Amino acid sequence: MDNYGWLSILPPIIAIVLALRTKQVYIALLFGIWFSWIIINDWNFLTGTLSAIEGMVNVFKSEGNTRTIMFSALVGALLLFIQYSKGVEGFINQLNKVIAYFEKKQKGYSRVIVQLLALLTGILLFVETSISSLTVGTLYRPVFDKLKIPREKLAYIADSSSAPSSILIPFNAWGAFIMGLLVTQGLDNPFGLMLSSVAYNFYPILAIAIVIIVIVFKKDIGPMAKAEKRTRETGKLLNDNSKPMLSSEVTSLAPKEGIKAKAYNMIIPLATMVFMMPINLVYTGWGNVTDAVSTSDHIFKAIGQGSGSSSVLYAVLTAILVAMVLYRSQKIMKTKEMIDLVLKGISELMPLALLMLLAFAIGDACNELGTGKFVAEWSKDWLSPEFLPAIIFVISSFIAFSTGTSWGTFAIMMAIAIPMAEVHQAPITLVIAATLGGGIFGDHCSPISDTSIISSMSSASDHIDHVNTQLPYALIGGIITIILYLILGFAL
């Protein structure tokens, strides 16, 4: 059966409703997967349940899925390494010197510089959103507090620099995940399509641009303006009735005692991971190129043919090995300590790995149900192709807002959006961009977003205050994005 008619859209809809009602994304996705297989097995609850279990097991039949899940777990080990080695503390010490320099130049100018540095740090840590928001909040919170910048502003910068940069610079698990979803839809050259869609992925671009405008021109609006006024007039970093989410819940490991704090203990491992990603793409794709006319052309084509999931996995493993050698040479850690840290880091990011497993599984289930084909055929007669990118963006936004996860949204929507684009003959890169951008926008607005929660934790900000202060900026970016998609929909 190509699709199950209206039944094919029930599982994702139920998953959305459950996420809204329970605020539990894992339960919502798990139920969506289970219900999908119940339908596929003709409402036989026993075989449907067993098929749902096997469906999740079968996620690991894909080598790309397995590598991506492994990467997500291992990156936690790298985070603990840079904390325990006092690399984070050393970075903060260097940052304080930069602040003192600019403060001598012009009083108050350091506030702008530090906020821009926080944004730049979040962008440079595009390898993983949790790492980005966690690092920015943890690193810059003492500095922001010293300069009397409200905690809500730090959480906003951490949140708005993490997912947007990860989706715009897809040499990471995000890129590997998205390419995997494109492959499941039968698309050729998934890496090239993903890179081509970046130019049309307006919301992440606007989100970063709005942060820069807010920082440089000091144009705060809504609740954020009130937060800035509160801190400026009273010195209070938080509202009186706020309940800050302490970062100790995420970064529970204290730095090692008796060692000197050095910034390069953080910078070298992270730079290794970032640097190794394109190198690994070239390596894994080199043998697949047969028509190169020069070495540079071979390299460019190899990047497009490389394995994204292999590249991110090799990169994080290389970074961990470099960190081990670096810390062992300084006698900061013994081998047993490093092994224990790796295991602890993996355990701390297992929830993210589980989320990815469920995201892959519900995408596979929707493919079995023919959800995308049904929606595409159903909309063929009434939906104008010109409106398709804007509508896809809105639907993706709603799903991401409901579930609090961009990845789950991508898994659900790619199986729907791509068949719709093919049926309506809409530009495929534009539709891919609208799907990805909608996932980021909805995630930014959602109070149950894992990235937003981590941003609040690392910044020690009240979570609801963070959501409320960020929302006006996100809505401005979202509205402009819809308008741009409507314009392009009619122009292309």
User: Greater confidence, 25 or 384?
Assistant: 384
Instruction: Give CA–CA dist 215/258, Å, rounded.
Output: 38
- List pLDDT tens digits, range 377-427: 676 667 777 888 999 999 888 877 866 678 778 877 887 888 888 888 888
Residue 420: closest CA among 363, 371, 376: 376
Instruction: Give CA–CA dist 394/376, Å, rounded.
Output: 16
Burial of 235 (0-12, 13-18, 19+ CB in 10 A): exposed
> Please, what is the angle between helix 63-84 and helix 173-184, to 10°?
170
pLDDT above 50 (res 166): yes
Contact 150, 141 (CB under 8 A): no
Place of tokens 């209206």: 6
Residue 443: closest CA among 411, 476, 413, 399: 399
Q: What is the pLDDT, as a whole number, of residue 487?
A: 93
- List pLDDT tens digits, range 73-85: 787 788 788 878 8
Pick from 51-60, 87-96, 225-234: least confident: 87-96
pLDDT above 50 (res 247): no
For residue 332, count other CB atoms closer than 10 A to its CB: 22
Q: What is the pLDDT, as a whole number, of residue 108?
A: 63
Pick from 38-42, 94-98, 244-248, 375-379: least confident: 244-248
| Percent of the chain scoring above 70 in pLDDT | 90
- List pLDDT tens digits, range 61-73: 877 778 877 877 7
For residue 249, count other CB atoms closer than 10 A to its CB: 11
- List pLDDT tens digits, range 272-330: 887 887 788 788 888 887 777 788 878 877 776 777 678 778 888 999 999 999 999 98
Residue 453: closest CA among 68, 137, 167: 137
What lies within 8 Å, CB to CB, of 185 at 6+ separation is 372, 414, 415, 418, 419
Sign of the dihedral defined by the CA atoms of residues 134, 136, 140, 144, in that order: negative
Q: What is the 3-state secondary structure (H, E, C) of the chain?
A: CCCCHHHHHHHHHHHHHHHHHHCCHHHHHHHHHHHHHHHHCCCCHHHHHHHHHHHHHHHHHCHHHHHHHHHHHHHHHHHHHHHHCCHHHHHHHHHHHHHHHHHHHCCCHHHHHHHHHHHHHHHHCCCCHHHHHHHHHHHHHHHHHHCCCCHHHHHHHHHHHHHHHHHHCCCCHHHHHHHHHHHHCCCCCHHHHHHHHHCCCHHHHHHHHHHHHHHHHCCCCHHHHHHHHHHHHHCCCCCCCCCECCHHHCCCCCCCCCCCCCCHHHHHHHHHHHHHHHHHHHHHHHHHCCCCCCHHHHHHHHHHHCCHHHHHHHHHHHHHHHHHHHHHHCCCCCHHHHHHHHHHHHHHCHHHHHHHHHHHHHHHHHHHHCHHHHHHHHHCCCCCHHHHHHHHHHHHHHHHHHHCCHHHHHHHHHHHHHHHHHHHCCCHHHHHHHHHHHHHHHHHHCCCCHHHHHHHHHHCCEHHHHHHHHHHHHHHHHHHHHHHHHHHHHHC
Give pTM, 2 decimals. 0.72
Pick from 7-16, 310-319, 431-440: least confident: 7-16
* CA atoms in the 13 A half-sphere facing the CB of 57: 6
Instruction: Give CA–CA dist 32/52, Å, rounded.
Output: 10
| Percent of the chain scoring above 90 in pLDDT | 22
Q: What is the pLDDT, as a whole number, of residue 470?
A: 93
Q: What is the pLDDT, as a whole number, of residue 323?
A: 92
